[in-house]
Chains A and B, each alone.
Chain A
Amino acid sequence: MEPARLFLGLLCASAALAASSLHQRPPQPEFLLEELELELGESPSGSLWPLPRSLRILPRQLQLAPARFQLVHGPGSTAGPGCALLQDAFRRYYEYIFGYSKWQNQGQRPLPAGTELLQLQVIIVSKDSECDNYPNITSNEAYQLSVTEPVAVLRAEKVWGALRGLETFSQLVYEDDYGTFLINESEITDYPRFAHRGILLDTSRHFLPLKSILANLVSWHFVDPSQKSNHLVYPSLSGSYSYDHVYTPTDVRLVIDYARLRGIRVIPEFDSPGHTKSWGKGQKDLLTPCFNGEHRSGSYGPVNPILNTTYHFMTDLFKEISSVFPDAYIHLGGDEVDFTCWKSNPDVTEFMKQQGFGIDYAKLESYYIQKILDIVSSANKGYIVWQEVFDKGVKIKPDTIVEVWIGSLYTAELSRVTGAGFTTILAAPWYLDYISYGQDWKKYYSVEPLNFPGCEKQKKLVIGGEACLWGEFVDATNLTPRLWPRASAVGERLWSSENVTNIQDAYNRLVKHRCRMLRRGIAAEPLFVGYCDPEYRGR
């Protein structure tokens, strides 16, 4: 997705029509889970997840000897041993490929000529490999992988594509019954369908220890999203559960760096003006005091939008956030603002009168958001907001990204948002915290993000999606099994071609992909009856 295209706020007539006729459409029926469970079989694509865009697996098998096989920089690559990102990745993938079996006693004997794969050469083609950059929304993740005897070649414009290709390569390697590592000759050309493939973790409702977050960044890979939004509680506010329950700046930097090395962006969300109760404890006068009749009730509502001090505070806060989080985007929230408290407060009422807002509190919210957006813009950041900000008609800059989260009629919302020319991210059908009995990954998998009324231009404004795991009922005890492999379903939907929709084939691959996650130490839960060898052994 090129940036220029994102910013075209073009309306098209057909879309406007389609959108207006939406009211007559009945609500979409819930996707029905198939009654019959799938029979496990072999996919012609082995265990690859998500499925590459173009894939040719040839019957010829090559062996890999752990003692000889190398991951190296190929001739002409613009990245060399000085590229720490790739060096780290080489080591990581060597361990993923060989590290889990007792190969040490094998691989010393020479193999018959012409049957061994000796190297994977990684070649970064572009003049700037972007080795030391942070990934961003326009990062090129495409790669080409050619596995032929005696060396395989992975070609990518940038390191980000190389990371995706390394993951694919590692997924092509398998072990036979004698413990021999094999790979079929293959040709792969691959690139993501959507640029933004995210996961949202909520660290406010339950604190998640760093190692949970890191563990899940590991399991991501390519499995998933190149991107993650993260609800980080801002440490200096310390509205947190206890001293053990804060992320220090060092922690945050660790997360960002850990993510960068895996080609994952970290987008912080500091939701306001609602969802801010915990801010109040650390920052006096920031929240609106609610009134009971003429007296303060002692409770507090959303951020107080009428005080200058509020905006001073926000300016300082977002200045700091902008420097801590390198990504070009900040998620500003803006969802579920409850007006009751504002309505009760006489100062707010007076302010409304002065501003000529009447009793339209959405205007007050707009006023607030508008000022926040200006603050964030002045820090040179772009922003993502939840859909209410758009729904309430807040004036937002044309390059704002609107995230669609409300489950009912989200297709109509996609039409409206893109019809108004805004870039959008879809989260509504992927609320992984809503658990149910059975194989609900199929439901997530079967979503088609572009299946909404709208013209081509509108469809292009959908830059991706996010799987959300809100934290009401999730903490470190159940995060990982609840997230994986269910989020993997979303991962494939956002990476692979639109026509990759065969549930049976997906099941066959995902079962293996899940076992692979176990081998890599991720406690991904089972899809259905069966087993993995080895089973999860803990980290």
Chain B
Amino acid sequence: MAELGLALLLVGLVPVPAGAVWPQPQLVRESPGGERCRLSPGQFRFGYARSSAVGPGCAVLDQAFARYWRLLRDAGPRAPEDTRPWEPLCTELLVSVSTPHCDGFPDMDSVESYKLSTSEDPSLLSSESVWGALRGLETFSQLIWRDEDGMFYLNKTNIMDFPRFAHRGLLLDTSRHYLPLRAILETLDVMAYNKFNVFHWHIVDDPSFPYESAAFPELSRKGAYNPATHVYTLNDVKLVIEYARLRGIRVISEFDTPGHTLSWGPGAPGLLTPCYAGSIPSGAYGPVNPILNTTYQFMTELFREVSTVFPDFYLHLGGDEVDFTCWRSNPEIQAFMQWMGFGQDYTKLESFYIQRLLNIISSYGKGYVVWQEVFDNGVKVKPDTIIHVWRENAGPYQQEVARVTKAGYRALLSAPWYLNRISYGQDWQAAYQVEPLEFEGSLEQKALVIGGEACMWGEFVDVTNLTPRLWPRAGAIAERLWSNKTVRDLQDAYIRLADFRCTLLR
């Protein structure tokens, strides 16, 4: 039979405090008397406060109101109304946003803080931006709880909340397995429930190229698993971006080069390096060919398109795991190396490529995120580059974070959060216990850690198992990145997370 030693892991089940919130807000004050009001979906509305700088017509909030109202309405069979007329009703949540912007996209500097008070009816939610209001609405929806008869209640509570890190991301890999649009949209929904704010779309890679490019349609025609069904059309991409925007989530695309590009080859002849077996081409291809002008013309065109399609200031440019074997085998590349005086140091060739690529991206007025190798190999990057720390086995990642920030770059942490790596038991705990700022460095260095990302690489994940593998495990990372550093009690987290999981199921 089963469970040796398991009991050790299980934390005792204790009744869940009413309306536990995930991730834990920075400051929660519940009314000491346990006062509450009853909430009836039919008699409750979300609205704008008179003081609000945004009002009806603001799509982000209009739609959020509708969304959260539906969640309330669809929460399961309802108890008969008016059976407890003596209980005070809560009838309204008024939202007040102080800056009048509504139609833009969230960005790295978006202010997500909010204040929420449910101590009187109407409840009040105030924030500087619509993005903060979205976070507050999520919190509000989690404060509502049900008693055994199915009645909804809201305890009198005051909350003051803001995120600890500005970049709280989740990576999905749509190349190793294609994920249908609905799986991506559903993930965006759950991200919002967890207050994640960046969707890192690792959209193409070696196995397939599902992105339909207007400039280079052959890329997906020849590089997708199936060019009719396993592709993301421009409309799909726009839908994802808008769906994300309405939930206060940025979409950062990653077109990883010069490695991880095998699927680009068939649709872009001449782009990849032909590998050689002795003196003749072997028929296999390696990374992007960095010695041809046509390569850079191609990249100029492709990233012109990508820069336009994806509105976020940042593009993720990849730059990880470049295998030099093929470059080494190719006589033309050898000649170029000699001519450039690179000797046998192929990292110099890689740097040469990345440097030119970065210049192209800069010329479009975009910033960039790169995987840590680009920094490790000493590529000259712009000071505002974000270095994405991912390697689990290249020494403790804390040291890499220290090096990156010491060099003055901003760092993004993923190394301890590869959710695709599964193991038996409650592995959310390991992810939860990570402390991103636990590395040797000055306060200035610590300030350069802008956040982290949970990564769900696609080797073994597709639509059949994505959701249960992501949730609630990614929730652990969400709390680590949002809540106060001191929120690390596993027992308390277990109770709130288990409750939150049940909420997600509804």
Contact = CB atoms under 8 A, between A and B. Distances in A.
A336 B6 CA distance: 13
Given A435-B423, A529-B459, A536-B462, A472 B3 contact: yes
Contact of B208 (A202, A473, A526, A531): A531
A275 B3 CA distance: 11
B180 interface: yes
Contact of A528 (B2, B226, B460, B463): B460
A525 B229 contact: no
A93 interface: no
Contacts of B2: 202, 431, 433, 468, 470, 472
Contacts of A437: 420-423, 460
Contacts of B420: 437
B499 to A, nearest CB: 15
A291 B393 CA distance: 51
Contact of A477 (B225, B426, B505): B505
A241 to B, nearest CB: 11
B207 interface: yes
B266 interface: no
Given A433-B2, A468-B2, A473-B425, A531 B465 contact: no
Interface string A515-532: 000100001111111110
A531 B226 contact: yes
Contact of B424 (A436, A529, A533, A536): A436
Nearest to B505: A477
A386 interface: yes
B458 interface: yes
Contacts of B460: 437-439, 525-528
A336 B1 contact: yes
Main secondary structure of the interface of A (DSSP, over half): loop
A386 B459 CA distance: 37
Given A436-B423, A436-B424, A525-B462, A531 B177 contact: yes
A77 to B, nearest CB: 39
A481 interface: yes
Q: Which of B6, B177, B426 has the most CB of A within 10 A?
A: B177
Range, interface on chain A: 35 or more
Q: Which of A336, A437, A523, A529 has the most CB of B within 10 A?
A: A529
B279 interface: no
B229 A533 contact: yes
Main secondary structure of the interface of B (DSSP, over half): loop
Contacts of A271: 1
Contacts of B505: 477
A405 B460 CA distance: 28
A481 B1 contact: no
Contacts of B226: 531, 533
B423 A530 contact: no
B126 to A, nearest CB: 37
Contacts of A481: 464-465, 468
A138 interface: no
A435 B469 CA distance: 12
B177 A529 contact: yes
B207 A530 contact: yes
A534 interface: yes
B200 interface: no
Contacts of A480: 464
B230 interface: yes
A478 B178 CA distance: 20
Interface string B172-188: 00001110100000000
A536 B178 contact: no
A316 interface: no
B312 to A, nearest CB: 27
Contact of B464 (A333, A433, A472, A526): A526
A434 B424 contact: yes
A535 B463 contact: yes
Contacts of B31: none
A406 to B, nearest CB: 9
A271 B459 CA distance: 39
A477 B467 contact: yes
Contacts of B463: 523, 535-536
A478 B230 contact: no
A526 B177 contact: yes
6 contacts: A473-B424, A473-B425, A477-B505, A531-B226, A533-B225, A535-B180
- Top 6 A-B residue pairs of the complex, sorted by shortest distance between their CB atoms: A478-B468, A481-B465, A531-B225, A523-B464, A470-B2, A335-B1
Interface of B: 1-3, 6, 176-178, 180, 207-208, 225-226, 229-230, 420-426, 458-465, 467-469, 505
Interface of A: 202, 271, 275, 333, 335-336, 386, 405, 431, 433-439, 468, 470, 472-473, 477-478, 480-482, 518, 523-531, 533-536
Given A333-B1, A534-B229, 10 more contacts: A386-B1, A405-B1, A433-B2, A472-B2, A472-B6, A477-B505, A478-B468, A481-B468, A529-B207, A530-B177
